[in-house]
Amino acid sequence: MALSREHWVTIEEYYEMEKTSDVKLEYSHGRVYAMAGGSPEHSRIAINLLGALNVHLRGKVCRVFNSDRHVQPLGGEDPTYLPDITVTCNPDDYKRSSPAIRSPRLIIEVLSPSTYMIDRVEKLKAYQACPSCEEYVMISSHHQEVEVYRRESNTGEWKFIRYTAEQMVTLASVELTIPVSEIYADTDIPPLTSVTNVGY
């Protein structure tokens, strides 16, 4: 979850705030967002996907990271996000000296009530503007729904695909196919058909 601080801050002030903050912070266009702890369902979804991606990518050049790793999709320090899951295939991004991932290939956000509009609008726009980003995935923590925005390799245009319960999700950017049921394993999150769609 995110709580916006209404005063404008510089990137230098943001870095100083990070040093003493007890929570994770994101920065975008002069505004700082404090990332509060997610729900058990949010955490389980992220763990399920991190585990699957980690096994799938083991021994390959691409590597998966959790929300401890900053992502700067536009090449500079603004914005600086902390996605739930990021895959990069650029070794420069995971050098010990690298301050952030600047060449993400796949980004996954698990939606929460307080962040889903930022994820759907601001971050979607930023990730689609990132030259290296091939897929942006948003996963509902309210019902079983996975939304995938995928850049078409031949045209560069973005295609939208929605997956629901009992379907297989294709993450073409890393050549992984995973059942929706595996993403939601060990949660009580119901299928989309049995709930009212509230947007996250």
Alpha-carbon distance values, 9 to 15, 24, 33, 71 (Å)? 10, 16, 11, 19
Would residue 171 count as lying in a domain?
A: yes
Residue 117's pLDDT is: 83
Residue 1's pLDDT is: 40
Contact residues for 41 (Cβ-Cβ < 8 A; gap 6+): 141, 187, 188, 189
Would residue 2 count as lying in a domain?
A: no
CATH number, domain containing residue 119: 3.90.1570.10
As a whole-number percent, the residues of the chain with pLDDT over 90 amount to 68
The least confident of 79-83, 119-123, 145-149, 191-195 is 191-195
Q: Quote the domain boundaries for residue 59.
A: 39-194
| pTM exceeds 0.85 | yes
Would residue 19 count as lying in a domain?
A: no
Query: Is the pLDDT score of 108 beyond 50?
Result: yes
Would residue 10 count as lying in a domain?
A: no
Would residue 100 count as lying in a domain?
A: yes
Would residue 166 count as lying in a domain?
A: yes
User: pLDDT tens digits, residue range 46-104?
Assistant: 999 999 999 999 999 999 999 999 999 998 889 999 999 999 999 999 998 899 999 99
User: pLDDT tens digits, residue range 26-49?
Assistant: 888 888 887 766 789 999 999 999
Would residue 135 count as lying in a domain?
A: yes
Dist CA 21 CA 47 (whole Å): 24
Q: How many domains does the chain have?
A: 1
**Helix-strand-coil percent breakdown of the chain, rounded to 5?**
30, 30, 40
Dist CA 167 CA 165 (whole Å): 6
Note the helical H segments in 58-195: 116-117, 124-128, 180-183
Dist CA 51 CA 45 (whole Å): 10
Closest to 137 measured CA to CA, from 181, 107, 175, 162: 107
What is the average pLDDT value for the chain, to the nearest integer?
90
Would residue 31 count as lying in a domain?
A: no
